Structure 1
C-alpha cells in the first residue's frame, strides 16, 4: 500500500486534510502570504519550501514536558504551527488516550517508535493495532541491539524487517521504517552496515526514517542517500549539529539543510520531524526549529 495514501481508520475530519492542503498548496500559500520575492524562484533562486503539513515534532524532544502535562504540551506545539508528531514513549497513557489528546489539539500522529524486540515477537499484532488507534501510518524500529552490529546481524535484521513490513502492510499500514544512529553507518569487515539494510530489504515493505544528524555523524551524506535510494525515506529526523558536534536547535548549527533537502522529494520525504536529544528548554527548541523550517527555501 502506498505510504502517501495510507491512514489508519477513524478520525474527526481534520486528519489528513491539513497535510494534503500543505502539500498541494505549499508554494502558493507562501507566495500569497507575502513571502520574500526570492521564494518565487527565478534564475539561481530557491523556490521550494517544506509543506506546512509536513513539519512535525518527534515527541522524544518534549519528553520532560509531556511527563508533566501531556495534553498541554500537544496544545502548545499545535499553537506554534506543528501539524504532525512522531510518538516516542507514552508516559503511562494508552494509545486511545493519546489519540484523544492529539485530536483535541488537532495534531496528527504519523508514526510510533516501537522496540525491535516487540515488533519481532508476539507483541507485533498489538503494536500494529495501536498504530491504527493512534491514526498513524508507520511503525518505526528506533534502534537495533548492539549484538546485531555486524554484517551478519544486519542481514538478520533485514530479513526480520521484511517480515514485519509485510505484516504492517497486511494490517493496512504503511511500510516499516528504521531510525538510524551513527554506529549504523559503520563499515565492518569492508561492508557498510546501513547499506545492507537499504539493499537487502524490500522497498515496498521497508523504508527509513533518516536521522540526518546521526547520518552525518556516522559519515553519511543524506542528500546522496536521497539520490541513490529514491523513495526510501518517507520521514526525517531533522536535528542540527553544533560546532562542537553536540545537538543544536534546527537552523542554529552547522548542517546545510537547504542543500540536504534539495533532493528530498526524490528520496520520498513527506515528513520533516524536528528532534533535539537534550534540549535545555524544549519549548524554545520547538519554537526556534519550527520557525526555521517554515521559513526555509531551497
Structure 2
C-alpha cells in the first residue's frame, strides 16, 4: 500500500464521505434501497468497539489559561466532565509532587509529561525521569525538535539521542520515551521523510510515539490506520485534535477528520491513551466537554 497516497483517505474521509453519500442518495434507484440498508446494518454492527473510559484524557496544554489561574480547580472540573487521565504540559509554578497531590485529590491520573529535547539529551534527564515517577505517569515525551534539526542528519541525531534516553527511562522503570510530532516532522527533505527516519532508526523497545493526528494530517503524513499496522505497538498515546474545513483547529468531533476510520487499527498500534487537544480554544471548558462527549460516544 502506498501510505502517502492513502493518507488523505482517513484524515479527510468524513468530509469526502459526506459528499459522496449525498451524491449516492440522489442517484440511487429504489431497487438499491434494500442493499444499502443491509450495508448500513453491517457497518453499524462492525463499529461496536469503543474507547475505554480509562483511556479518555485531556492534554493540559489545552487548559493552560484556566490552569494558570486555578490549577486544582481546573483539574476538578475536568474530572467532573468525565476525564480519567491527563497529559502534563507546563506546571504553572507547581512542583511534580504538588501536581501529583492535586491529581490524587481530584481522582485524575497523569500518564505522561512533555519535557524539552535539551533536557532529555542533557544532564537534566535523571531529574525529569524522577519527576515522571513522582507524577505517577508512565511516559516522558519530547514535544518537538529544534527547527535547525529538520534535516535527515538532524533526525538521525535525534534518533540516537532518543534511544539513549529511552534506555534510561526503561532503567528507571518507566515506559519508552515518546516523541510528539508537528507538521514539519512529516516533510520530505533530500528525498527522505523525516518522521520515517525516527520510525526506522529508533529501537521499538525504547522509543515510541505520541501521534498528533491533526499535525500528521496537516503535514501530509501517513494514515494512522497504516501506521498502526506497519509499526505495531509503537503508538501508546494519541493527541486527538480535529481540523476545520479551512485547515484550522476545531473541537474534537466537529471537524473533518474521520476518527472512527483512523482508530480502526488502534489496537494494533498499541494505543492506550486518547488525549483531547485544541491549540487555541475559545472556551477551554466547552472544548473539554465537547471532546469528552464525542470520544465517549464514538463507536468504530
What is the match of residue 107 of structure 2?
Answer: 106
Deviation at 1:235? 0.1
Deviation at 1:265? 0.6
Report which of the two has the higher share of helix: 2
Is the partner of 2:61 in helix, strand or coil? helix
The answer to whether the aligner puts 1:223 opposite 2:189 as a matched pair is no
Q: Do the aligned partners of 1:140 and 1:177 also contact (CA within 8 Å) in 2? A: yes
Deviation at 1:225? 1.0
Which of 266, 285, 288 is equivalent to 1:286?
Answer: 288
Q: Partners in 1 of 2:41 and 2:90 — Cα distance? A: 44
Which of 265, 268, 277 is equivalent to 1:266?
Answer: 268
Is the partner of 2:205 in helix, strand or coil? coil
Deviation at 1:227? 1.4
Report the number of matched residues: 258
What is the match of residue 49 of structure 2?
Answer: 48
Q: Partners in 2 of 1:146 and 1:222 — Cα distance? A: 24
Q: Do the aligned partners of 1:216 and 1:222 also contact (CA within 8 Å) in 2? A: no
Q: Partners in 2 of 1:226 and 1:78 — Cα distance? A: 29
Q: Partners in 1 of 2:225 and 2:114 — Cα distance? A: 24
The answer to whether the aligner puts 1:276 opposite 2:275 as a matched pair is no
Q: Partners in 2 of 1:231 and 1:55 — Cα distance? A: 18
Q: Partners in 2 of 1:75 and 1:183 — Cα distance? A: 35
Spell out, residue by residue over 1:92-142, the C-alpha distance to the aligned partner (whole angstroms, 9 max, x if none): 000000000000000000000000000110100000000000000000000
Equivalent runs, 1:21-170 vs 2, <5 Å: 43-44=42-43, 45=45, 46-170=47-171
Q: Partners in 1 of 2:193 and 2:293 — Cα distance? A: 36
Q: Partners in 1 of 2:246 and 2:42 — Cα distance? A: 36
Q: Partners in 2 of 1:43 and 1:259 — Cα distance? A: 15
Q: Do the aligned partners of 1:86 and 1:110 also contact (CA within 8 Å) in 2? A: yes
Q: Partners in 2 of 1:213 and 1:126 — Cα distance? A: 31
Q: Do the aligned partners of 1:208 and 1:235 also contact (CA within 8 Å) in 2? A: yes
Q: Partners in 2 of 1:81 and 1:203 — Cα distance? A: 32
Q: Partners in 2 of 1:223 and 1:146 — Cα distance? A: 28
Deviation at 1:224? 1.4
Which sections of structure 1, spanning at least 5 residues, go unmatched? 1-40
Which of 236, 239, 253 is equivalent to 1:237?
Answer: 239
Spell out, residue by residue over 1:225-264, the C-alpha distance to the aligned partner (whole angstroms, 9 max, x if none): 1111111000000000001100000000000000000011
Q: TM-score, normalised by structure 1?
A: 0.86
Q: Partners in 2 of 1:217 and 1:227 — Cα distance? A: 21
Deviation at 1:278? 0.1
What is the match of residue 196 of structure 1?
Answer: 197
Which sections of structure 2, spanning at least 5 residues, go unmatched? 1-39
Is the partner of 1:178 in helix, strand or coil? strand
> Which moved further from structure 2: 220-229 or 109-118?
220-229
Is the partner of 2:42 in helix, strand or coil? coil
Higher relative contact order (CA 8 A, sep 6+): 2
Deviation at 1:43? 3.4
Is the partner of 1:288 in helix, strand or coil? helix
